[in-house]
Copies of this chain bind each other. A is one copy, B any other.
């Protein structure tokens, strides 16, 4: 099952590249695999690090070029994660259902959120404005439950502090 899904994704990548006059190179294949097998969002240097296990000579510029191609084909998504540190980007393989990202501005933890209302909102926007949506990125920032609690404690510090 896992294998089947994987093969299906692979075929899709090949086909989609072809349709855009692009070649399925070893580099692009490995980079796409790295993202599809990583459950999480990776930045470009991390993609490079992982892909080099298969392709030791791989160059960072190639990673950026591949990410750009895959992004244009809608195979991966690009994220900012509220720029909690630096202005770099993160990448992740696209799945059937879009999800949102919440970044805690205190502890920097990132949470993935799914909500049926998000799908509904997207469909409603498409319908109302006549847009054809290709990407939808909803990034949230604030305090996670844990940090909200400690922030409240700091407002009312215990007598011993």
Contacts and interface: CB of A to CB of B under 8 A. Distances in A.
A115 B111 contact: no
Contacts of A45: none
Interface string A117-157: 11011101100111111111111111111001000000000
Given A135-B141, A135-B142, A129 B102 contact: yes
Given A135-B82, A139-B137, A145 B130 contact: yes
B145 A125 contact: no
Given A80-B80, A87-B87, A117-B117, A133 B142 contact: yes
Given A87-B87, A118-B121, A121-B121, A113 B137 contact: no
A33 to B, nearest CB: 25
A131 B105 contact: no
A139 B20 CA distance: 25
Contacts of A129: 102, 111, 113, 144-145
